Structure 1
Amino acid sequence: MKKNFILLSVLLIVVSACSVHSVEPEFEKAYIRSIMVKATDWQLKNPKHNLKDWTNGAFYAGVFAAWETTRSDHIYDALSRMGNTNQWEPFRRFYHADDVAICQTYIDLYRIEKRQEMIRPTIDTIGLFIEKPYPTRGKVDIIKWWWCDALFMGPPVLVKLGVTLDDPSYFAANDKYFKECYDLLYNKEEKLFARDLNYVVKNDSSDRYEANGERIFWSRGNGWVMGGLVRILKELPADYPERPFYEGLYKDMAERVVGLQPQDGLWRASLLDPDSYPGGEVSGSGFFCYALAWGINNKLLDKETYLPAVRKAWVGLTRCVNEEGRVGWVQPIGADPQKNFSPDSWEVYGTGALLLAGSEVIKLPKR
């Protein structure tokens, strides 16, 4: 009898140990760090686009988050190499949010090294952006941030500058331009942003709809908006008068987005017509995962409500990373939801979104 009891006890210990080890390895900290390093390394070995381009602005935001998470020397070296190669300059257009997205990472690195050449071109370019009018063609681009993705590209640069330089005038400028975009593109009933004025329903012959008759709201654009909101909220002082506006918008979008999440955890290219699009879209899903996980970690979102959605999203994202570290199922560059992507479709911004998501998922509370 005693022998059987001992044998049973040993078996229970073994089963218990195996169960603990086998429960969702995607959430083990060592695994998260390893997949972030693997994805970063693959993407660095397979560069795409000009290093100053908006695509790399999103990627290197993720690379910086990967460095913060892993403290990897070779990742930091890659960040420094990018900045030095670019001579710490924005891209060509001072007036376009796409061309300053890379400046988010310049500012982050400046905060560490405090070298003026790392931030001076950004200050000068944003000065021109604020002082000069947008060179509009008078159709869609009637405000400075006239497409919703711009809310990831531009606002964090202005807010980061305001914090870094202790100059709240940058906060005020961001408030003005952000709210112009909000007024133009945000649908308060759907709690989602149209991509640009072409996709705002105006009840005329120019209106566009999905195959199922729903309005067009794509996951990537709205994912980037939510990612941008997180990067604003991480910076703004707690007592800043306009902070409640950004928090309220963030919470409204979070509630809506979670309600649209498919069972496999990954949002489709079109949020309101998911059945028309193949597979989960990683760049939009990555930014949603990042934004929702950050909200849980910072107690803006209820853990019981949102944690299951984040966990599903993260598991789905990790399944889109192949053995080499390439992040697939990323929608190509374009203005609207598309169907021309697959497990082999990759883009640098998809990797950036995954890295940002991992940087917050690793901090999540246990169940």
Structure 2
Amino acid sequence: MNCCLSLVWLQLVFSCAPQSEEIAYSREQVLQSMQLANDYFMEKWPDPSIPIVGRKTWPSHIWTRGVYYEGLMALHSIYPKEKYIDYAVSWAEAHDWSFRYGITTRNADSHCAGQTYLDLYELGHPSAQIDSTRASIDLMVASDKVDDWDWIDAIQMAMPVFSKLGRIKGDSTYFEKMYELYAYSKYDEGGGLYNEVDGLWWRDADYVPPYTEPNGEDCYWSRGNGWVVAALVRVLNDIPVNEPHRQEYEEDLIAMLDALIKVQRTDGFWNASLHDPENYGGPEATGTALFVYGMAWGLNQNLIDSTTYYEPMARAWNALLEESLQPNGFLGYVQSTGKDPSAGQPVTQLKEPDFEDYGLGCFLLAGSEIYKLLDEQ
């Protein structure tokens, strides 16, 4: 499909929503919704150390749980509670403040837990240990290998570990290695996983053209692109204003957010497939929450303009609270783990995904930035 005609078609399909929607909830209601969802999870998983049992058994410091703790620490940052820290520390201690497969791992999914280990260290918790995190990342920094992040989820799972270490240690070598890994994913893997024409990312080399969706469009997975948005937000929170690659990260984030508002559903959500609304179409909460996170952060930092982005962000957040969040704290419309729009289908309001933790993490990240935005207003 011709690029110009494709863009016009997408705008007609997706951009027919009202343009005057405001966030329908107060700061107190936003915080209450976050607490409701988090309490539901903590009550369901009172012991954070126990393995996750599903179609197989996983240790509880895999990436899904790591993303949840990213969200929990974001909740703690706006509403400090000792029980949140105790819950996170118990989880970290159960895994010796280290990673699945140990410190020699180069796997981004394993490194995800390090984001929370570093957060707890910065909070000054007496038990916090970052020696294993630093040792593992130092092995990567010392290596010439840069092709580890060959799927875009990896960018969110591991990139902020590098940026946090660089900030904590005052060592720009972490920033430079982080960029080399990011640049390989962006420009080299599969010919480059980022399509600057569309402002979106293919999930991995398997989805780079000639692969297409049933309607002939490129396959851009909602949550996969959400992971990149979240990674850029978290990295930009860490790196100094004069970091050599900061402008590129900002430009990538802005280009993605611009692309995303063009393909938003009229109900506020995004489809699992961003360019084919008929291929497993329907509300999907994780990508939506991550896009809210990026837009709200961008507005809080004055990186993007409110005239363009406030209404799409508000519409998405309202949809999450009104349709995804259930009265007991369960989050609906969470797509199960996978790598493309077909994973875990059908995605419905009451269907339980294979893991409930990462969806909550995404929701808490979004809510924390919405809360700050409402505070500013």
DSSP-derived class of the 2:324 partner: coil
> Are residues 1:341 and 2:357 paired?
no
Higher relative contact order (CA 8 A, sep 6+): 2
Tell me if 1:118 matches 2:129: yes
**Segment drifting more, 93-102 vs 111-120:** 111-120
Shift of residue 77, structure 1, vs aligned partner: 1.7
Which whole-Å CA distance do the structure 1 matches of 2:74 and 2:257 have between them?
Answer: 22
Out of 247-256 and 66-75, give the one that drifted further.
66-75
Could you tell which deviates more after superposition, 149-158 or 93-102?
Answer: 93-102
Query: C-alpha distance in 1, partners of 2:76/2:303?
Result: 25
What is the distance in 2 between the residues matched to 1:223 and 1:251? 13
Distance change >3 Å, CA 210–CA 150, structure 1 → 2: same
2:269 paired residue number: 266
Q: Is the 8 A contact 2:202 2:220 kept in 1?
A: yes
Q: Are 1:316 and 2:319 counterparts?
A: yes
Q: Answer yes or no: is the 8 Å Cα contact 1:195–1:221 preserved in 2.
A: yes
Tell me the residue number matched to 1:158.
162
Paired-residue identity, %? 34
Note the C-alpha offset of 1:81.
1.5
Q: Tell me whether 1:189 sits opposite 2:197 in the alignment.
A: yes
Calculate the aligned-residue CA RMSD, in Å: 1.9
Cross-structure match for 1:76? 85
Query: Which residue in the other structure is 1:107 paired with?
Result: 118
Asked if structure 2 preserves the Cα contact closer than 8 Å seen for 1:50 and 1:56, the reply is: no
**1:1-367 alignment runs, 5 A limit:** 26-47=24-45, 48=52, 49-92=58-101, 94-113=105-124, 115=126, 118-132=129-143, 143-183=147-187, 184-201=192-209, 207-318=210-321, 319-338=323-342, 339-343=345-349, 344-346=351-353, 347-365=356-374
Distance change (3 Å), C-alpha of 1:313 and 1:239: same
Instruction: Return the offset for 1:266.
Output: 0.6
The structure number with the bigger radius of gyration is 1
Q: Report deviation, 1:116.
A: 7.8
Give 1:252 shift: 0.6
Please give the per-residue CA displacement for 1:331-366, whole angstroms capped at 9, x wherever unaligned: 111121123322123421111000000000112257
SS across alignment from 1:362: helix
CA-CA distance at 1:199 after TM superposition: 0.7
Is the Cα–Cα contact under 8 Å of residues 27 and 362 in structure 1 kept in the other structure?
no
Give the letter for the 2:200 counterpart.
Answer: L
Match of 2:149, SS? coil
Which ranges in structure 1 are unaligned for 5 or more consecutive residues? 1-22, 135-141, 202-206
What letter matches 1:85 in structure 2? A
Q: How much does 1:97 deviate?
A: 0.5
1:6 — aligned with what? none
**Is the partner of 1:153 in helix, strand or coil?**
helix
TM-score by length of 2: 0.84
In structure 1, give the amino acid aligned to 2:140. Answer: F
Query: In structure 1, what is the Cα distance between the partners aligned to 2:125 and 2:41?
Result: 28
Q: Determine the C-alpha separation between the residues in 1 that align with 2:78 and 2:347.
A: 30
5+ residue gaps, structure 2, are 1-20, 46-51, 53-57
